[in-house]
Amino acid sequence: MKKFSYLAVMAACLSTGLAAQAVLPEVSQAFSEVGLNVKAVADSSVPGMLQVQTDKGLFFISENKQYLFEGNIYDLKNKKLVNEDILKDIRKAGVKDFDDSVIEFKAANEKYVIHVFTDTSCGYCRKLHNEMADLNKAGITVRYLAFPRGGIQSATYDELQSIWCSKDAKQALTDAKNGKAVKQASCKNNVAQQYELGQSFGINGTPALVLPDGRLIPGYQPAAALVAALSQNAS
């Protein structure tokens, strides 16, 4: 698994200007006090605010370092989310870096490839997985990334590691989502890194779907709705 392209794209998207570069230590200190690890800082298009990429997603902070803003900022004049284009590029690069370690359910007539952060104990993850035949028939290839909602100390984390280390990971994942026991297995894996990647996107629940153009859909989508979403501005 290579992290270079993700970090390079993130750095390019959050190109650090002189003002942002000068306050990086101060911003890092301010964010550390609320438990966030700063990865990059940039001058924001919003006057009086800096844009900060962290291990838990994208945030904004006032230039005086007093006020931290979480969530999307909407540009009423231009009618768009200020941070969405940047996040799309970051997500696309991030999931691509893990393509050698996903569990893939490939469509025979592949039209789209989506990445799905999943948890074996999640009811809607199971519902989505049970519709895999419909998704594949619609030309959607699904690449799974692990996201144990309980964190890396949870039983689900251990189960996901066993799945990723199984000789037949696809079958092990399907078994787990059907409530069957998964044989314990161990190997060198990056389940923790996949979880951390999801957190850096601001994901806190599953399933979470990353579309080919970097859009993020939180939650379950039936095949028909997903095809409709994919057909909109797909790249």
| Alpha-carbon gap, residue 100 to 29, rounded angstroms | 35
Tokens matching residue 227: 């095809």
Report the greatest alpha carbon distance in the chain: 56
Phi, psi dihedral angles at 79 (to 5 degrees): 55, 55
Point out the residues that are catalytic.
119, 122, 125, 149
Q: Say if residues 75 and 81 touch (Cβ distance below 8 Å).
A: yes
Give Cβ neighbours of residue 111 (< 8 Å, ≥ 6 apart): 138, 139, 140, 230
| Alpha-carbon gap, residue 62 to 122, rounded angstroms | 37
Among 49, 53, 30, residue whose Cα is nearest residue 41: 53
Strand order in the sheet with 49-54: 38-43, 49-54, 57-62, 68-70
| Alpha-carbon gap, residue 179 to 234, rounded angstroms | 34
